[in-house]
Structure 1
Amino acid sequence: MKKWWPLLFFLLALDVATKIAAIHWIPPLSYSPYPFGGIGIFSFGGITCSLNYIVNTGAAWGMFAGYSGLLFAIRTLIILGLVFFVPKRFPIWLVVTGAIGNAIDYCLYGHVVDFLHFTFWGYSFPIFNVADSCITIGVLALLIFSGKDKAVKAI
């Protein structure tokens, strides 16, 4: 597990640094996303990527926005549970890294900073951040590789 610590620390630092940059350099999204607001990164084959700074007081995609204190308590308990009670595999630590990144936001700003916005052939995907990506990739890796462990134990 020790070999993954530099990557996890880098991802956490990247999350914090990109959120600071978003706060300072991207105008807050008040109504319209790119191309009417935000900063365009690329547009190719029906896929666009832009930077749009929004304040997220809820969970994933802004759900439960009125319960930020409760969400912080739940996130903290989940982080502690994952750290102390779950086997230490890289996907788990990836989820923990993302959760810590979003918890840092809540402690510093009282909300989570989201800024990455993709549109796929007209469908606007919810705006997210690096920490959200870590959580998503970690959960997907757990789902993909969880069947592998059971198959090996069954043999």
Structure 2
Amino acid sequence: MWRFMWIAVVVLLFDQLTKLAATDYLALHGEIKLAPFLSFVLVHNTGAAFGFLSGAGGWQNVFFIVVALSACVFILWMSWRLESRDMFLVIGLMLVLGGALGNLTDRLFHGYVIDFIDVYYHVWHWPAFNVADSAITIGAVILALDALQPGSRKTR
């Protein structure tokens, strides 16, 4: 497991660097249209995915910090228990861990998560997201694919 920890570290660093760049640039220049369906726009998300609980009055930040810390501890514990042949599963877990640490870092230092990627079609906008959210999503897909493999962990 430890030899794959670099994946979580790279996700965390790339996430924080892109958020720093987006905050610095977008605060001065506003929205940047990259394509007819893609923009960079600065969003401070006090909620969870899709802005869930963003208007809850402030208690949600502590709640999401506790959830993220618990998830990180669980992922580390689970990764520690895996065998070397579970490489696909460990990669998925490290992507989720890196993303969780990226968003956790935002919550601890800012009180909100910095989102800046806006995907849209005409007037319909997908909720803004960031590199950490992307890593969590890719990691979750990998975990789901691993769980769907015939004879995955049931026989071990």
Cα 1:77–1:151 shift into 2, 3 Å: closer
Work out the CA distance in 1 between the residues paired with 2:63 and 2:154.
39
- Structure 2: gaps (5+ residues): 83-89
Asked if 1 retains the 8 angstrom alpha-carbon contact of 2:48 and 2:64, the reply is yes
Asked if 2 retains the 8 angstrom alpha-carbon contact of 1:55 and 1:114, the reply is yes
Structure 1 moving runs of 4+ over 4 Å: 151-154
- Structure 1: gaps (5+ residues): 29-36
| Equivalence map 1:6-155=2 (5 Å) | 6-27=6-27, 38-43=31-36, 48-65=37-54, 66=56, 67-86=60-79, 87-88=81-82, 89-120=90-121, 122-150=123-151
TM-score by length of structure 2 reads 0.80
Q: Percent identical across equivalent pairs? A: 28
Give the number of equivalent residue pairs.
142
TM-score by length of structure 1 reads 0.81
Asked if 1 retains the 8 angstrom alpha-carbon contact of 2:95 and 2:135, the reply is yes
Work out the CA distance in 2 between the residues paired with 1:109 and 1:97.
18
Work out the CA distance in 1 between the residues paired with 2:68 and 2:7.
22
Relative contact order, CA 8 A, sep 6+: which one is greater?
A: 2
Work out the CA distance in 2 between the residues paired with 1:75 and 1:7.
18
